[in-house]
Amino acid sequence: MNRIRFTGRGRSRCLVFDMAITTGEPTYRASTLKRERSPAAWAAALARLPQAHALQSWAWGEFKSRWGWEALPLTLTVAEGSWEPLAAAMVLKRRLPRLPFCVLYVPKGPAFDYHDAALRRLVLEKLEHLARRERAIFIKIDPEVVHSWGLEDERVSPLGAAVRRELSARGWRPSAEQIQFRNTVELPLEGTEEQLLAAMKPKTRYNIRLAERKGVVVRPGGPADFPTIVAMYHETAARDGFTARPAAYYLDGWNGLYEAGLAQPFVAEVDGRPVAAIIIVRFGERAIYMYGASRNEARERMPNHLLQWEAIRWALAQGCRVYDFWGAPDEFNEADRLWGVWRFKAGFNGEVVRFIGAWDYPTRPLLYRLYTQAIPRYLNFLRGRRGRSDETALPG
C-alpha cells in the first residue's frame, strides 16, 4: 500500500540536515531528519517507539493525503548506536489557497521517548526548523503525553508537567483548536472476561444482558458493511446535532484502515437488520473505539452496550492491553456536550486519562493570530447568519 503522494518541490523535498545540542546532559551529536518512503520501514520505526498512535500510521497519512493534505512521514536518527530511528512524526501539510504559506499538523504525535530530555529538545528543534523551512504559519503537535489520571486530576504526571513547561519556554502555546480529544477513558484489559464484566457498573452489566435477551446479535463486519455504517453515522449526526463529513470521506478512511489491518467493524443486528455499529482501530497493544453509529430504532434494546462488550472481548483475545473509548469531556459536568457519552463509557469501569493536548508553534505571529482568531470569528459570524456550516479553521 505504497500510495502516499509526495508532491513537495524545491527545498521542501530536502529534509535532511544535521544538528548538535550541547548541554550538561547526554547529547545527540550528528542527527538526521529524513522523509521515509517505505511503509514497511515506517511501521517498523513506529513499532520500536513509545507513544506511537494509529493517527501516526502510514495508512492514516495516506488517507489524509487524498483529502487536501500532503503527508510527510519523518524519522529522526542520530549517530550514536545503530542509526535506528529515535523519533517519528507523520507531519500533515496543508497549503493555503493563493498564499505562499502552509500549516503543519502532527496528529497524536510525534512518537519518541519523552522521558529523554536531550532527545525531547532535539525533536522540538527539528520541528521548529521544519516549520520555518516549509514556510508554515505554525506547526501543531498533539503528543501522547499524559497530564493526569482521574476525574479530579487525582494523579498528576511529572513528565506531563515537564513537557508543558518546556513547550512554553520554547515559545509553543496551548492550541485553541484541539483537533483530537484532549481527554479519554481507558480500560486496562487485565484479567479474564468474567473479571472485566464483574468490574463494570451493575447497570452496564444489566444492559449488556438485556440486549442479548432482546435479540440483539453482534457480528464482526467488513468493507461490505461500510455503506450501511456511514448511513447510520449520518443518522446519528442528525439526531445528536453534530456535523458529519461527506460519506466518501468516511468510506475512504475506513477502507484504507481496514486494508492496512488496523480497522475492525462490529455490527449489531435485530432480526437481521443493522441497528448500530462501531469501528475499532487496533494499533500495537491498544484498541481504539474510534467511530460509533446507530439508528433511531431499537435503541431501547441497548445494542450499543453489547457492541462495546463484544469489542472489548475481541480486543482481549487479540492481545491488546488497553481499550480506549476515545473521547471524554473537557469539563466533567452536565453542561459539557460529551456528558451523556461519558456516562455511557464510565459504566465499563474505565479510567479518565487527561493528555497535555495540542500545542502550536507560530513562526509568523501576525498570520497566526489572523488564522486562529480572526478567521474563526468570521466563520462563526457566517454560521450565525446561514444557520449551519461544516467549515473549520483547520479541517482534517
pLDDT of 165 reads: 98
* 102 and 18 co-located in one domain: yes
Give strand ranges (E) for the chain. Answer: 31-35, 70-78, 87-95, 102-106, 111-112, 136-141, 146-149, 155-156, 173-174, 183-188, 216-220, 263-270, 273-283, 286-294, 322-324, 351-355, 359-362
Which of 175-179, 328-332, 366-370, 391-395 is the least confident region? 391-395
325 assigned to some structural domain: no
Amino acid, res. 235 = E
340 assigned to some structural domain: no
> Residue 390 and residue 134: Cα distance in Å, rounded?
28
SS3 content of the chain, % helix, strand, coil (to 5): 40, 25, 35
Q: How large is the average pLDDT for residues 104-126?
A: 97
Other Cβ atoms less than 10 A from the Cβ of 16: the count is: 9
Whether pLDDT at 91 is above 90 = yes
> Quick one: pLDDT band at residue 391, thresholds 50, 70, 90?
very low
* 259 and 135 co-located in one domain: no
Q: Which residues pair with 76 in a beta bridge?
A: 33, 87
Host domain of residue 206: 190-320
* 114 and 95 co-located in one domain: yes
pLDDT of 81 reads: 60
* 173 and 44 co-located in one domain: yes
142 assigned to some structural domain: yes
* Cα–Cα distance list, 147 to 163, 193, 283 (Å): 9, 30, 22
Q: Looking at 271, 294, 320, which one is the last position of a domain?
A: 320
pLDDT of 30 reads: 76
Q: Rounded to an integer, what is the distance from CA 99 to the centroid of its chain?
A: 28
pLDDT of 377 reads: 67
Q: Looking at 320, 337, 367, which one is the last position of a domain?
A: 320
* HSE-CB of 200 using CA atoms within 13 angstroms: 25
199 assigned to some structural domain: yes
Report yes or no: 307 and 293 within 8 Å, Cβ to Cβ: no
* 109 and 165 co-located in one domain: yes
Q: Looking at 265, 297, 320, which one is the last position of a domain?
A: 320
Q: How large is the average pLDDT for residues 356-365?
A: 97
> Residue 360 and residue 142: Cα distance in Å, rounded?
9
339 assigned to some structural domain: no
* 168 and 105 co-located in one domain: yes
Contacts of 371 (CB under 8 A, 6+ apart): 103, 137, 138, 393
pTM across the whole model: 0.88
Other Cβ atoms less than 10 A from the Cβ of 95: the count is: 17
- Can you give the CATH number for the domain in which 280 is found? 3.40.630.30
pLDDT of 376 reads: 66
All three cell numbers of 393? 479553521
All three cell numbers of 324? 480506549
* 95 and 141 co-located in one domain: yes
pLDDT digits (tens, 9 = 90+) for 276-292: 999 999 999 999 999 99
* 18 and 123 co-located in one domain: yes
330 assigned to some structural domain: no
* 175 and 206 co-located in one domain: no
332 assigned to some structural domain: no
pLDDT above 70 coverage of the chain, percent? 86
60 assigned to some structural domain: yes
Whether pLDDT at 371 is above 90 = no
* 18 and 101 co-located in one domain: yes
Whether pLDDT at 141 is above 90 = yes
> Residue 88 and residue 35: Cα distance in Å, rounded?
10
* 153 and 202 co-located in one domain: no
> Quick one: pLDDT band at residue 390, thresholds 50, 70, 90?
very low
Counted domains in the chain: 2
* 223 and 168 co-located in one domain: no
> Residue 301 and residue 297: Cα distance in Å, rounded?
9
